[in-house]
Amino acid sequence: MVTHSVYKRGCISCGREITDDRLVEVGVCDKCYSSSSEDILKIFESLTGKSKNLRDLITLKKEVDEWVDKFKTVIGTLPWNTQITWMKRVILGRSFSLVAPTGVGKTTFGIFSSLMMALRGKKSIVILPTTNLVNQVYEKIVSFSKKLGMSIRVIRYSSNLSEKEKVNFKDSIIKGEYDIVII
């Protein structure tokens, strides 16, 4: 690669300056890591004693890799870069909104994220505008959870539920007997 820029305090390990090509290829300056190894995770692990930032990045990288593997298992393809960015935000516990054109994978990502949260013992609520979408998302969550070998409690509420189903839904909410709620 050709160097186009030098970033002052750009090295994520030590804060020294780093060239743009080095930042893209390795992520740390040549004083922190002299090799140009392609395995970013290996580089970060070799430097973990030097920087808490790198330990945090390693943890994030491993978790994102796990999410990507599970995404591929469930969906059949790798996630788009946009979805990987969203994964990082969810993993880090950041609040954000998904604003993107139709067909980008917002609903799929929401379904997948709720499953990943259920794997970690967290509860999710999926809010949708129509009964048809509630039913479609419910079916997808059930299907995806089977592909992951998960046993989760998914409940849904829509206007076409019977009175008994509405009471059961309310009871499940009150008792906390759910992993994912779809409304």
CATH of domain 66-182: 3.40.50.300
Helix (H) or strand (E) holding 13: none
**In the prediction, which pLDDT does 154 show?**
98
**In the prediction, which pLDDT does 1 show?**
60
**In the prediction, which pLDDT does 37 show?**
55
The pair of structure tokens assigned to 169 is 């839904």
**In the prediction, which pLDDT does 61 show?**
86
The burial of 116, by beta-carbon neighbours within 10 Å (0-12 exposed, 13-18 middle, 19 or more buried), is given as: buried
Assess contact for 9 and 16: CB atoms under 8 A: yes
**In the prediction, which pLDDT does 31 show?**
83
Q: Which residues of the chain have pLDDT under 70?
A: 1, 24, 35-54
First to last CA, the chain: 50
**In the prediction, which pLDDT does 52 show?**
66
| Residue extent(s) of CATH 3.40.50.300 domains in the chain | 66-182
- pTM to 2 decimal places: 0.71
β 180-182/124-126 pair status: parallel
Sign of CA dihedral 21, 25, 29, 31: negative
Residues 6+ apart with CB under 8 A from 5: 19, 20
Query: Side by side, which strands form the sheet with 154-156?
Result: 124-126, 180-182, 154-156
**In the prediction, which pLDDT does 8 show?**
87
